Each structure stands twice: as C-alpha cells, then as structure tokens.
Amino acid sequence: MFTPADSISRTPLVAVYGTLKRGQRNHYWLKSADFLGSDRLTSATLYDLGPFPGAKPEPSRGVEVEVFRVDANLLTELDRLEDFRPRQPHAGLYHRAIHATSFGPAWLYLYNPEVAGCVSIRQGGWRH
C-alpha cells in the first residue's frame, strides 16, 4: 500500500464504493473521468454510515468498487469532497491509499473516524 505522498503520476486511477458510483448522488463529480470497470477488493471492508459508506483497510470477502481514470485536477476536487487533507491525512474525514485492482493500482478513500456500532459490509456493496 502506498501513501498519499505518492503523486498522481504514480496512479491516475480511483476506486469508488459509495455515493461516487454510477447511479449514486455524487457520481456527477466523475463525469469527466473514464470508467474502466467494476472490481472486488479483498483489502477493504465497508461500513454503512447511513447516508454514505466508509472503507477501512481490513480484509473482506470482496467489496464492490468501480474504477475510474482521473487527472490531477479531478483528484484534487475529490480530495475536497472527501475532506482529505494531504498535509494531515488522518485529520480529515477520509485519507487515501493505493490498493490493487484488476485495472492496476488505484486510490481508495479510507474513513478516518471510528466505526464501532456500524454495520460492516465484508462482501458485496453499499446500497442506498
């Protein structure tokens, strides 16, 4: 797993699992991105937080993600949306790390706060 200090040149891919997926309310943020396809990650577990999910870097039986090719400007916009703070990655709502997908290494936004009491999704996807 790589850290957010790695540049976009290392990977122009983002794996999304919640409101950024096609058909979800925030997908319009990815209108300029190239959809590469769907995948299942066993390196993350999703948690149902109500209006959106959060991922933790915990083993799973395969959670559903969609992989998109993005540019540096769009990645910066997504960072703002997800409250990712590059200088203090664990101070915001999410930090990001690179996870392996079948399309190559991709950024995955990981939820910072505790998830005690939230329903875990260790297989499949978040549905709302």
Active site positions, annotated: 82
Residues in the chain: 128
Alpha carbons within 13 angstroms on the beta-carbon side of residue 16 total 28
Question: DSSP string spanning 9-70?
Answer: TT--EEEE-STTSTTSTTGGGGTTSEEEEEEEESS-EEEE-SSSEEEES---SEEEEEEEE-
